[in-house]
Structure 1
């Protein structure tokens, strides 16, 4: 576990200062659509957990719609950037913390909404991460897991391989159907699925406890 955590932390630390620019230059339209969806689907949330928050792009945008947010990331440099942005924007209802998606330090049934955006395909143990999400989710809560499906088609598979050369390695290259099957095989039921079209299709999926 320590080796896994250190590898992930080192890579994402190295991207912290340039991550926002990377998203702006490569996925701005996709994120605009994603943030619109998330605002609509979280507007009644009281306690929201965001996993793999990065520089806080999603958490800070959702702060206007949600009562309280805890946002975690494995990389200290990412959290540092997120905290700076939080202060600059005078946002008081987001708590940025270091945390591991596969070992969540929260009690059972703590959150009514969990967001884990664009992270499951990057993890060595996505099953462990989603089981941890289930554990800390309230029985009537929802998990929102937008995920790039790198195995959706030949084009996405080729792009995924090229991205891997630069360190953005997809540990799992799901097809759209395979990702849905992954979610249900972990004891969740899918309540909403939508594809946001990009070079690699982004599946916007909402699930609840089965």
Structure 2
């Protein structure tokens, strides 16, 4: 199935393939590791897609909740569920959490594709503890040609 077909008919499969690319996993893990979180810190990943980064953070000892607005994305995420990672259906524009709940609130490749990024950033800041961190990863130029071809 080509990339356009995946995008049209199976976005969850496309995002799962993108998140599994070695260079993209490396980018995500380097970014996540640079945040300075500690074991048992609470992390919210907004726009978790199929959950690979959420799972990685959980394996590193954090308590992580991943949210996404796509049930199909979360179905793939839940297939690899671990005890320290949980997934919930939610929109970045209306996060279903209390104020000041998380030590870290992160979003990878989300802010650049949603309709109202300012609202999402406000929500992310709202649910982050006052001494916590909000961090977003925004891609720059496109993916490498060979990676697109492999999809």
Q: TM-score, normalised by structure 2?
A: 0.80
Task: Tell me which of 32, 50, 54 is aligned to 2:49.
Answer: 54
1:31 matches 2:20: no
Q: CA deviation at 1:17?
A: 2.8
Residue 15 of structure 1: aligned partner: 11
Equivalent-residue separation in structure 2 for 1:141 and 1:12 (angstroms): 37
Shift of 1:68: 1.4
In the alignment, the residues of structure 1 paired with residue 9 and residue 105 of structure 2 have an alpha-carbon distance, to the nearest angstrom, of: 23
Q: Cα RMSD between the aligned structures? A: 2.2
In the other structure, the counterpart of 2:98 is 107
Q: What displacement does 1:13 show?
A: 7.9
Cα distance in 2 for partners of 1:13, 1:51 equals 23
Mapped contact 1:13–1:78 kept (Cα < 8 A): no
Q: Structure 1: 5+ residue runs without aligned partners? A: 1-10, 150-155, 160-197, 200-210
Other-structure match for 1:148 = 139
Bigger CA radius of gyration:
1
Instruction: For CA contacts below 8 A with separation 6 or more, give which structure has more relative contact order.
Output: 2
SS at match of 1:55: coil
Consecutive unaligned residues of structure 2, counting only runs of 5 or more, are 1-6, 145-151
Aligned pair partner of 1:65 in 60, 66, 79: 60
How far apart in 2 are the matches of 1:48 and 1:12? 31
Greater CA drift, 123-132 or 36-45: 36-45
Is residue 48–residue 66 contact of structure 1 (8 Å, CA) maintained in 2? no
Q: In structure 1, what is the Cα distance between the partners aligned to 2:8 and 2:44? A: 20
Q: Cα offset for 1:148?
A: 1.6
Summarize deviations over 1:82-108 as a string: whole Å, max 9, x none: 00012xxxx201110100001011111
Q: 1:50, CA displacement in angstroms?
A: 0.4
Gap change, CA 1:76 and 1:42, over 3 Å in 2: farther
SS in 1 for 2:10: helix
Residue 29 of structure 1 and its aligned partner are, at CA, apart by 1.1
Q: SS where residue 78 of structure 1 aligns?
A: helix
Deviation at 1:55, TM superposition (A): 0.4
